[in-house]
């Protein structure tokens, strides 16, 4: 094994929490404007991962959630998020090994495709349960501004011939560009070969470089217009939902289904509590208005908006909530039970800053229920 104890703990946590197997921490050098490697101070909490060996990989397989239907090799969410899996010298062997170890799961690698060898495409196509999650971003005029090492010709080759599982576009703020990108994908028949075509909103944090903040804000300002057009013209295309608003319903996404199921579970929990119990729902910006409306008739339930000050910018998701922001913003008069998103905690039961749920329970002298 290559990994030392500290590295393996981070490696194990990433796999168990997110289903990603981080195989190395080498910076890819592609220079994507949205890459957080140079601006996210939180990444320093985790050790860098050297190029793992076969023994590390097989040991990592043990921590894959048996209930998920995929295994991702390469970059992680918190551990080694700034690399490309095809920089690993044994990546092709690792893909084959994973496909044989998990014959009923989909093996994927998230990549821009810049380092995929064209002479290996036939080999990748021969693995029936493997597919590339291609971060296409855009093929229009802003591509080089967003992905300096754009590799246009190689990317076009992959769109035509590579085994693709998912193709992700990033809305640049220009509706004509996403129109042309979708036209290209459908002309090449990519829609018939992938599980999903996804359109993402470009996000930023408080520490993002100015160029990204500018691009992201332009995207945010026009995102609802973009999604309205996509739902009408490409109903099978999936898109990210930054906030639970009616304009974002549809498009084969599960955000509202998940929210409604969560609300149903929360109401059942509240119903079973002793009469007079005062409940506080901890909500990120993405779901605050939606959940507030759902609980408007509940006298002893309050929804509490917690903004993400740790990252700032346009970050609004529940998975990046943390104790620090909650303590700074949540000062209840009545607080018997707190219901919070389970996504806040990793597989070791810790939030982003390494605190356990029990520490927050002690701080507020209240019971916390994760849903």
pLDDT digits (tens, 9 = 90+) for 270-313: 999 999 999 999 999 999 999 999 999 999 999 999 999 999 99
Least-confidence region, from 76-80, 164-168, 217-221, 285-289: 76-80
The residue that leads in pLDDT, 216 or 250, is 216
Q: Looking at the structure, tell me whether residues 123 and 217 fall in a common domain.
A: yes
- Write out the H or E segment, with its range, that includes residue 223: helix 210-233
Q: Looking at the structure, tell me whether residues 53 and 84 fall in a common domain.
A: yes
Torsions phi, psi of 119, nearest 5? -75, 0
366: pLDDT strictly greater than 90: yes
Average pLDDT on 19-26 reads 91
Question: For the CA atoms of 66, 71, 73, 76, what is the dihedral angle to 10 degrees?
Answer: -70
Q: What is the pLDDT of residue 40?
A: 63
Q: Looking at the structure, tell me whether residues 244 and 182 fall in a common domain.
A: yes
Of the CA atoms within 13 Å of residue 285, those in its CB half-sphere come to 13
∠ Cα 23 29 31 (to 5°): 120
238: pLDDT strictly greater than 90: yes
Which residue from 17, 3, 7 is spatially nearest to 56, judged by alpha carbons? 3
CA dist., res. 324 & res. 309, Å (int)? 9
∠ Cα 261 284 272 (to 5°): 45
Torsions phi, psi of 24, nearest 5? -175, 160
Q: Looking at the structure, tell me whether residues 231 and 308 fall in a common domain.
A: no
Q: Looking at the structure, tell me whether residues 102 and 172 fall in a common domain.
A: yes
43: pLDDT strictly greater than 60: no
Q: Report the Cα 173 to chain-centroid distance in Å.
A: 20
Q: What is the pLDDT of residue 252?
A: 66
Contact partners, residue 358, CB within 8 Å, separation at least 6: none
Q: Looking at the structure, tell me whether residues 102 and 160 fall in a common domain.
A: yes
Q: What is the pLDDT of residue 35?
A: 80
Q: Looking at the structure, tell me whether residues 191 and 269 fall in a common domain.
A: no
Q: What is the pLDDT of residue 348?
A: 86
What is the count of structural domains for the chain? 2
Average pLDDT on 69-73 reads 94
Q: What is the pLDDT of residue 354?
A: 87
Q: What is the pLDDT of residue 31?
A: 85
Q: Looking at the structure, tell me whether residues 284 and 182 fall in a common domain.
A: no
3-state secondary structure of 198: strand
Antiparallel, parallel or unpaired: β 279-283 and 301-305: parallel
Domain that holds residue 57: 5-248
Number of H helices, E strands in the chain: 13, 11
64: pLDDT strictly greater than 70: yes
- Write out the H or E segment, with its range, that includes residue 137: strand 130-137
2: pLDDT strictly greater than 70: yes
CATH of the domain at 208: 3.20.20.70
Q: What is the pLDDT of residue 352?
A: 86
What confidence tier does 246 reach under pLDDT thresholds 50, 70, 90? very high
Q: Looking at the structure, tell me whether residues 267 and 227 fall in a common domain.
A: no
214: pLDDT strictly greater than 90: yes
Contact partners, residue 155, CB within 8 Å, separation at least 6: 112, 113, 134, 136, 139
Q: What is the pLDDT of residue 44?
A: 61
Contact partners, residue 236, CB within 8 Å, separation at least 6: 191, 197, 252
Average pLDDT on 355-364 reads 97
The secondary structure of residue 211, as a DSSP letter, is H
Least-confidence region, from 157-171, 187-201, 246-260: 246-260
Q: End of a domain among 248, 268, 296?
A: 248
Q: End of a domain among 214, 232, 248?
A: 248
Exposure string over 330-345, b if 16+ CB within 10 A, otherwise e: beeeebbbbbbbeebb
Q: Looking at the structure, tell me whether residues 151 and 281 fall in a common domain.
A: no
pTM attached to this predicted model: 0.91
Q: Looking at the structure, tell me whether residues 195 and 334 fall in a common domain.
A: no
Q: Looking at the structure, tell me whether residues 91 and 206 fall in a common domain.
A: yes
Average pLDDT on 139-162 reads 93
- Tokens representing 62 are 């043990």
Q: End of a domain among 201, 223, 248?
A: 248
Contact status, residue 239 vs residue 247, Cβ threshold 8 Å: no
The residue that leads in pLDDT, 183 or 49, is 183
């Amino acid at each position: 094994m290559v990994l030392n104890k500290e590295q393996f703990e981070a490696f194990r946590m990433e796999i168990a929490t997110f289903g990603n197997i981080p195989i190395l921490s080498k910076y890819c050098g592609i220079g994507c404007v949205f890459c957080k490697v140079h601006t996210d101070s939180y990444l320093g909490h985790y050790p860098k991962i050297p190029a793992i060996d076969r023994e590390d990989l097989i040991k990592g397989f043990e921590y894959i959630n048996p209930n998920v239907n995929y295994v991702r090799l390469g970059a992680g969410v918190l551990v080694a998020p700034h690399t490309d899996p095809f920089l690993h010298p044994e990546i092709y062997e690792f893909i084959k090994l994973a496909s044989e170890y998990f014959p009923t799961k989909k093996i994927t690698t998230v990549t821009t495709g810049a380092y995929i060898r064209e002479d290996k495409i036939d080999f990748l196509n021969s693995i029936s349960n493997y597919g590339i999650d291609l971060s296409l971003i855009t093929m229009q005029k802003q591509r080089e501004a967003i992905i300096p090492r754009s590799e246009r010709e190689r990317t076009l080759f992959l769109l035509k011939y590579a085994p693709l599982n998912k193709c992700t576009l990033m809305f640049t703020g220009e509706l004509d560009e996403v129109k042309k990108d979708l036209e290209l994908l459908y002309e090449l028949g990519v829609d018939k070969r992938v599980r999903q075509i996804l359109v993402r909103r470009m996000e930023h944090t408080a520490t993002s470089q100015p160029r990204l903040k500018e691009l992201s804000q332009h995207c945010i300002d026009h995102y609802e217009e973009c999604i309205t057009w996509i739902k009408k013209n490409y109903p099978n295309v999936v898109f990210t939902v930054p906030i639970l608003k009616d304009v974002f319903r549809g498009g084969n996404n599960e955000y509202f289904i998940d929210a409604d199921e969560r609300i149903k579970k929360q109401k059942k929990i509240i119903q079973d509590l002793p009469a007079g119990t005062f409940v506080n729902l901890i909500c990120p910006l993405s779901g605050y208005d939606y959940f507030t409306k759902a609980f408007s008739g509940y006298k002893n339930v309050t929804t509490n908006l917690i903004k993400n000050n740790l990252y700032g910018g346009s970050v609004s998701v529940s998975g990046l909530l943390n104790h620090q922001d909650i303590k700074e913003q949540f000062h209840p008069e009545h607080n018997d039970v707190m219901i919070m998103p389970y996504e806040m905690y990793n597989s070791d039961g810790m939030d982003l800053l390494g605190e356990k749920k029990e520490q927050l329970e002690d701080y507020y002298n209240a019971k916390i229920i994760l849903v």
